Amino acid sequence: MARSFAWLAIVGTLAGCASVPLPPMDEAPRPASPATSAPAVTGDVVTMPKSRWVPVAWSELPGFADDALYDAWNAWLKGCERPPANWARLCGDVRRLSIASADEQRAWMLEKLQPYRVEPLAGPADGLLTGYYEPLLEATRVATARNAAPLYRPPATLASRRPWYTREEIDTLPEARAQLRGREIAWLADPLDALVVQIQGSARLRITEPDGTQRTVRLAFAGTNEQPYRSVGNWLLQQGAIRDASWPGIKAWAAQNPGRVNEMLWSNPRYVFFREEPLPEGDASAGPRGAQGVPLTPGRSIAVDKDSIPYGTPVWLVSAGPVVSLQRLVFAQDTGSAIVGGVRADYFTGWGAEAGELAGRLRQPLKLWVLQPR
């Protein structure tokens, strides 16, 4: 998705992997009992720019024997479309095991992979898990009295002026507005929804065309103005305007203070541009493409700090909190500028209102283990 910042950032938010020798490909893996056949710990501590990977036994991974791997394997197959260099030779096994049982898949992982506990280079061992999603919104192809909040394609001058105009300048300066004229993709009714789309970096829009026909398309991330991101939720808190910096709290404040909405929006100089894409024919369940360049899978794709975990890496994720309890295999397939730190992840929850509610409430402690070929 190449998101510019995380959902949590509203209210507050490729380093190469160390080389690990790859074993020769064996025959189809043999089923084995996780309790009795896990190999001994191998490998040395791996130091990344923002984290340290410590080799551990499989028994350290909570819930490993219980994860239903079917949808995880689908995400892994997508990741093998653009695998990290040290994973390319094992992707043949991953594809072959796509029709295997979960026990056979787990046995192969025990035999072929080594888990490493991800630790920050400094600070607390526990990290932070937040969530993000793909909004689903109604839009029109042309501006109307109701729909007056535009979403734009990148301007032709984006690469020649760095940073480009701020959000306030885009809304107020004639020269900035002139450079965006004709670049509108669609129009939304609520400028706060336009902000959400920019924060998430992607959206599904049900667009009404001028002739009244409707179709659903995807807006994918296509660039930013390279201005710094500032949280509108933090701005409201600093103003003493709200105590509840959740997205419903922000929207409630905006409804009560329509004359100050632009002031709030302009407190965040960053602006995101999009390109329109058709939804995959016959597979509306495919997520947007993440920074790895492969479609995201709800509940199995995460955004990470690329200086801690390289794109395409399988990760064992554990997080327990008031919103959800997770012990599952996920894949580092995306990034975001608010996702910073050794033990930090943004969990892709899917699309639509339910996914948005989960993403907006998710803020929990986090533990991560990366999996690497032996």
Give the chain's radius of gyration (CA, Å).
22
Question: Which residues in the chain come in under a pLDDT of 70?
Answer: 1-40, 281-285
Name the phi and psi angles at 23, rounded to 5: -75, 160
* Domains (range + CATH), the chain: 45-115+127-131+292-373 (2.40.40.10), 134-278 (2.40.240.50)
Q: What is the pLDDT of residue 282?
A: 55
Count helices and strands (H / E) in the chain: 11, 15
**Do 7 and 359 contact (CB within 8 A), yes or no?**
yes
- Give the HSE-up count for residue 3: Cα atoms under 13 Å, Cβ half-sphere: 37
Q: What is the pLDDT of residue 1?
A: 60
Q: Mind giving me the DSSP string for 130-154?
A: EEEEE-EEEEESS--SS--EEEEPP
**Do 22 and 86 contact (CB within 8 A), yes or no?**
yes
Alpha helices in 162-217 (DSSP H): 167-172, 174-180, 191-200
- The pTM of this model reads 0.79
The C-alpha atoms of residue 110 and residue 349 are separated, in whole angstroms, by 28
Give the residue from 295, 311, 301 showing the smallest Cα distance to 346.
301
The C-alpha atoms of residue 90 and residue 48 are separated, in whole angstroms, by 22
Give the residue from 50, 18, 55 showing the smallest Cα distance to 121.
50
The C-alpha atoms of residue 293 and residue 333 are separated, in whole angstroms, by 8
pLDDT tens digit sequence for 230-261: 999 999 999 999 988 878 889 999 999 999 99
According to DSSP, the β-strands at 51-55 and 113-120 are antiparallel
Q: What is the pLDDT of residue 338?
A: 81
Q: Which two tokens stand for residue 36?
A: 């009795």
The C-alpha atoms of residue 143 and residue 208 are separated, in whole angstroms, by 11
Environment class of residue 82 by beta-carbon count within 10 Å: exposed (0-12), middle (13-18) or buried (19+)?
middle
Environment class of residue 369 by beta-carbon count within 10 Å: exposed (0-12), middle (13-18) or buried (19+)?
buried
Q: What is the pLDDT of residue 19?
A: 30
Give the residue from 40, 20, 7 showing the smallest Cα distance to 130.
7
The CA–CA distances, whole Å, from 118 to 87, 143, 266, 289, 326 equal 19, 49, 38, 25, 17
